[in-house]
Amino acid sequence: MADGASGSLDFGHELVVDLFAGGGGASLGIEQAFGRSPDISVNHDADAVAMHAANHPNTHHLRCDVFEVDPVEATGGRQVGLLWASPDCKHFSKAKGGKPRSKKIRSLAWVVVKWAATVKPRVIMLENVEEFVTWGPLASNGQPCPRRKGSTFKRWVGRLRGLGYKVEWKELRACDFGAPTIRKRFFLIARCDGRPITWPEPTHGKPDSIEVRKGKRLPWLTAADCIDWSLPCPSIFLTKEEARAVGCKRPLAPATMKRIAKGVDRFVLNAAMPFIVPIQNYGWGDRCASIGDPMRTVTAGPKGGAFALCAPTIDRQFGASHGNSVNTPLGTTMAGGSGKSALVSAFITKYRADNAGAAADAPFPTITAGSYEKRPGGNPPLAIVGVHLDQANAGFYDGAGRSVSEPAATVCAQGSMQRLVATSLCKLRGNNVGSAATEPLHTVSAQGMHHAEVRAFLVKFYSCGGQHADCAGPMHTVPTRDRMGLVAVAGTDYAIADIGLRMLTPRELFRAQGFPESYIIDRGVGGKKLPKDAQVRMCGNSVCPPLARALVASNLGELIEFYARAAA
């Protein structure tokens, strides 16, 4: 029938089928609701099938084009209780910009009508981008015809209704159902069994909302919950040679530098609500705490009192966004390569009395959140003060990013677009308020940090304080509080000494999508290693499992009860 068939089918009950199964996000949500994986999954991509099979070994996997599958043959003629479909959304999404669309890819949803006409699933659920409702013919230039906008969608829905289905659709955000991402998607439910279509009530909300304050909903999970604070953030001021040595790309594009400068100004220099990070405990889910929460237990010993003040942000590179706090969900994780975010964090040297600067063993220190042991012959490294995420959509987004105290931005499929920006701070002494890029650099302990570069960077790319000055000319009048990189933390002034930047890792992105730590992302069935680009692609193409779980639980309680009785 099709290449790559594996596993065995159990025909003792209604079947559950996941078309366009990808790496298994929808299947995981279905499994969380039912207590078992789908019976059949279909996908043409070898890496996707490998990841899906590693996590759902009891599913019957068909690696082929969805239109090659004969629904009657695939199901053995058995009744289908649920058909889930997540057809490719890139050629509907606004994130594709002005690039031509593919008529073939935009037509993938017609396979749902094929299954409805042949095996008539009791319930059909479809996920796509919100622009799916605009589905219509393409003009000669490869762009959607504006005069026939939405006509194909109406015809497609009409076909389902003509086959006896009641059809409803709605837009839902993943952050409202327990995933730390703002990813918003279109969901359609169709059923032909006479039962009502029901939509799940949100379980999470904005922390200051009435529902959360009254205890009716939980506060959003945030981008900060997804981030591994112990990973290094190389300086944005590294030379090509220095960057090559640590495996990163430098110099950065002017548009990227501009976004970083905006994020630093908004989420570090002017952050209103910093938060505490327990540096010595890296366990995901227990890294961060609000400044309004009680202080965690301070331990004794050489690592005692290992806390640092944080004001994180996430930078997003498209739309009119100017960034968000890390107290909100991450932006949508997109499959098309244009929903790019990056984490920006500020670091501070003062969390020990003898800490007068950054690590003394390198002129361009790597910024990390977790490494703070005192190094032989030098001062302790830096500790986090404020972070934000940069969204790396070159040419599409020039906002200030997002705060890590909010849900994360949408994750893209083509490369890791989320980037962590880490701004290191140096404690000011006496009348030391920093210096202009054209002035002699003040005394620096043991290594060259980047005071002058930071000031020049802020003037050139953002001009904090509204001073549009040429770095080669005299500095404009400096106000009482020099805003060219001066940060006050608990009444103490710090000058920005360096800024680091790194991409978010695949595991961090999967966390943002709502996948558990146990989900296998780095290898497929049989131990086949999956490269990072494949991992990110699977993440960006995935359905957020908490949303799939909520939709299935809200509409298929009878199947949940059946499986529970069968397992008892």
Phi-psi region of 142 (alpha: psi -120 to 50; beta: other; left: phi over 0): left
Query: To which H or E segment does residue 388 belong?
Result: strand 383-391
Dist. CA 145–CA 447, nearest whole Å = 60
Contacts of 51 (CB under 8 A, 6+ apart): 23, 24, 520, 521, 524, 530, 534, 535, 538
Q: Please name the amino acid found at residue 425.
A: L
Q: Tens place of pLDDT for every residue, the chain, 568 residues?
A: 444 444 444 434 689 999 999 999 999 999 999 999 999 999 999 999 999 999 999 999 999 999 999 999 999 989 999 999 999 887 667 766 667 778 888 899 999 999 999 999 999 999 999 999 999 988 888 888 889 999 999 999 999 999 999 999 999 999 999 999 999 999 999 999 999 999 999 999 999 999 999 999 999 998 888 888 778 888 888 889 988 988 888 888 888 888 888 888 888 777 765 444 444 333 333 434 443 444 333 333 333 333 334 444 454 444 434 445 555 565 555 544 433 555 544 433 333 333 333 322 323 334 444 333 333 333 333 444 466 778 776 544 556 777 777 888 777 665 546 787 766 666 555 444 443 334 443 333 333 456 667 777 777 776 654 444 444 445 444 443 445 677 766 666 777 778 888 888 999 999 999 999 999 999 998 888 999 999 999 998 999 999 999 999 999 998 888 888 877 7
Residue 448 main-chain phi, psi, to 5 deg:
-80, 110
Residue 568 has what pLDDT?
A: 75
Tally of CB atoms within 10 A around 561: 10
Number of H helices, E strands in the chain: 14, 22
**Which CATH number is 15-220+527-567 given?**
3.40.50.150
Q: Are strands 313-316 and 341-348 parallel, antiparallel or unpaired?
A: antiparallel
Concatenate the DSSP letters of all residues of 189-244 into one string: EEE-SSPPP--PPPSEE-TTSHHHHTTSSEEPP-GGGT--TTS-B-BTT--HHHHH
**218, β-bridge pairs:** 204
Residues of the chain with CATH 3.40.50.150: 15-220+527-567
Nearest to 187 by CA among 287, 270, 86, 266: 86
Span between the terminal Cα atoms of the chain, in Å: 35
Q: List phi, psi (to 5°) of 192.
A: -120, 15
Cβ count near 11 (within 10 Å)? 13
